[in-house]
Structure 1
Amino acid sequence: MIRLRDYIANWENSPLAELGHTPWAMTTNAASIIQGMISRLDSSYRVTNSIAIHESAVVEDGATLKDAVIIGPNAFVSSRSYLRGGVFLDEGCAVGPFCEVKSSFMLKGSKLAHLGFLGDSILGENVNLEAGVVVANHRNEWTGKEITLLQDGNEISTGVRKFGSLIGDNSKVGANSVLASGTLLKPDSVIPRLTSVDQQAKQLISAML
């Protein structure tokens, strides 16, 4: 069983906690979840269709926002970034230029630098993804395609074909690193630059032999 509070210390105080969803249920249903959140926002947000931007946030010209999106207080979205499929940026979050964010939740102070991809994932508070980081959300090499996770040596079935990573508070992922689908990073994890993280690698190799 994955408990989000083990990865995100302030999870119980998050507006998302009341949903009681698994991480993969949250990302799979991100657009509808965020649409529901938009209906409860106060007047400090400018809402156009299904896009809500806080009055203190900055969204540069040239950014593309699709489907349900919430851009929180003092958040920043750079020109040439692409947000789609349900995206939640909490207070102080930042998305750099030439980044794509799909069906993901970034909590307070988390940042995705330029040339990055974040798919179907949940980031805790103050997570930093350096330039060129790819948080993959699909297992192209698996026959069944269903994403499974490994937690403390136990395999967890998700029942979904797209899920990225759950990244704990204060974690750092170095430039040009790749997190394979189903990655779980505990709080304060540090991934060096140019690293490939695949927690299912042994299972994948065994299946190929």
Structure 2
Amino acid sequence: MSLSFSISKEISDNFYPFTQTRKAEDIRIGILTIKEKWQLLNANEEITSLRLPGITSNETKTIEKLTDIIHLNDWAICQDFALLTKNRTSQPVSSTNKIIAPENVFLEEAVKMEHCIINASNGPVYIGKNAEVMEGSVLRGPVSIGENAIVKMGTKIYASTTIGPHSMAGGEIKNSIIFGYSNKAHDGYLGDSVLGEWCNLGAGTSNSNIKNTAGDVKLWNHAIQAYESVGLKCGLIMGDYSRAAINTSFNTGTVVGVCCNIFNEGFPPKFIPDFTWGNERYELPKAMNDIDNWKKLKGKRITEEEKVLLEKIYKQPK
């Protein structure tokens, strides 16, 4: 039996908004997507749950709900690091950088990094092919910087953070996952959060990740159409193709759907449905045109497959 995924709709529905635009196995956690992990292990089985393979032991982890992506990212980075670097040698690290625990730092080919500080004593730091970490940046592992990603000058990246391929990172980021092709490129705080692909956070945008009462955070669960308690910390959950204006302030436990353009005064709502434009409906032709404009900034164009998928999401009953 070759590798195949049979993830039920009930499981997939727990991962809104990300499973609106991808299969559940294509969710990124750690360095790789779930599917990529099993492919690299040459798995020969049918996978019916979202299991993460253990590399450093026989232990596996199962993600059952949305916030598991955040809570297990630390573990997943460590497992993926072991998988990707086994019997391989890192590219040399320039002497202008200050490295703590260099044995836990791995650079793929053509990485650009000068005058940075990396502390890998509590977990590995992986930097993908053609990535650039600009001067003055400080990284504290476990951290993954994806292929062709850019970390802007003076960025502070704390443990359990994944910057996906072709994404831009800036400001302060902690315990967060950015899937790919997204921008959190300026000052502002992103913590205990997950951003999908082709997202953009305007300069100064920040999220709260803990209530000022230190009470339980309630997060919108789309599968049951209700808010549910998810523990002490949870920040921003943002679906693909969504964007926020400069200085947007997100409340603790905010869920943003697919293809939203967030602006207006004050705090945005804690749940923002798909195709929201300010306080109005984001008309589909304009949404597709705007997505195409954003994709052109990274040398891509909206595809016919994306248009079909977006139209399907747009027509879903609310």
- TM-score norm. by structure 1 comes to 0.83
Q: 1:145-164 CA distances to partner (integer Å, 9 max, x unpaired)?
A: 11111345512121x21111
Corresponding residue for residue 149 of structure 1: 219
Q: Deviation per CA, 1:6-25: give whole Å up to 9, x if none.
A: 35525422414644422322
CA positional deviation for 1:176: 0.2
Structure 2: how far apart are the matches of 1:138 and 1:68? 22
**Identity fraction in percent:** 24
| Structure 1 residue 86 corresponds to structure 2 residue 150 | no
Alignment partner of 1:102 is 2:165: no
Q: Deviation above 4 Å: which 4+ runs of structure 1?
A: 42-47
Of residues 15, 21, 24, the one that matches 1:3 is 15
1:37 alignment partner in structure 2: 80
2:143 matched to 1:69?
yes
Mapped partners of 1:107, 1:44: distance in 2:
26
Residues 69, 88 of structure 1: 8 Å contact kept: yes
Is the Cα contact below 8 Å between 1:93 and 1:108 reproduced in 2?
A: yes
The 1:127/1:44 distance shift into structure 2, 3 A limit, reads farther
Contact 1:44–1:55 under 8 Å retained in 2 = no
- Bigger shift: residues 23-32 or 125-134: 23-32
Deviations 1:56-76 (A, max 9, x none): 100012100002011111000
CA change 1:195–1:110 in 2 (3 A) is farther
> Which amino acid in structure 1 is aligned with residue 15 of structure 2?
R
The answer to whether the aligner puts 1:184 opposite 2:197 as a matched pair is: no
Q: Flag structure 2 segments of 5+ consecutive residues without an equivalent.
A: 1-12, 28-32, 35-49, 53-61, 92-103, 106-119, 272-318
Q: Retained in 1: the 8 A contact 2:183–2:198?
A: yes
1:116 equivalent among 182, 188, 195: 188
Q: 2:199 maps to what in 1?
A: 127
Query: Within 1, Cα distance between the matches of 2:84 and 2:67?
Result: 24
The answer on whether the counterparts of 1:8 and 1:125 sit within 8 Å (CA) in structure 2 is: no
Which structure would you say has the larger Rg? 2
CA distance, structure 1, for counterparts of residue 68 and residue 158 of structure 2: 17
Q: Distance in 2 between matches of 1:93 and 1:11?
A: 21
Root mean square deviation, CA, Å:
2.3
Question: 1:55 maps to which residue?
Answer: 129
**Greater strand percent: which structure?**
1
Q: 1:45 to 1:93 in 2, by over 3 A?
A: farther
Aligned pair partner of 1:161 in 226, 229, 232: 232
CA-CA distance at 1:194 after TM superposition: 4.9
1:171 equivalent to 2:184? Answer: no
**Structure-2 residue corresponding to 1:203:** none
Q: For residues 7 and 183 of structure 1, do their structure 2 counterparts lie closer, same or farther at Cα, with a shift above 3 Å needed?
A: farther
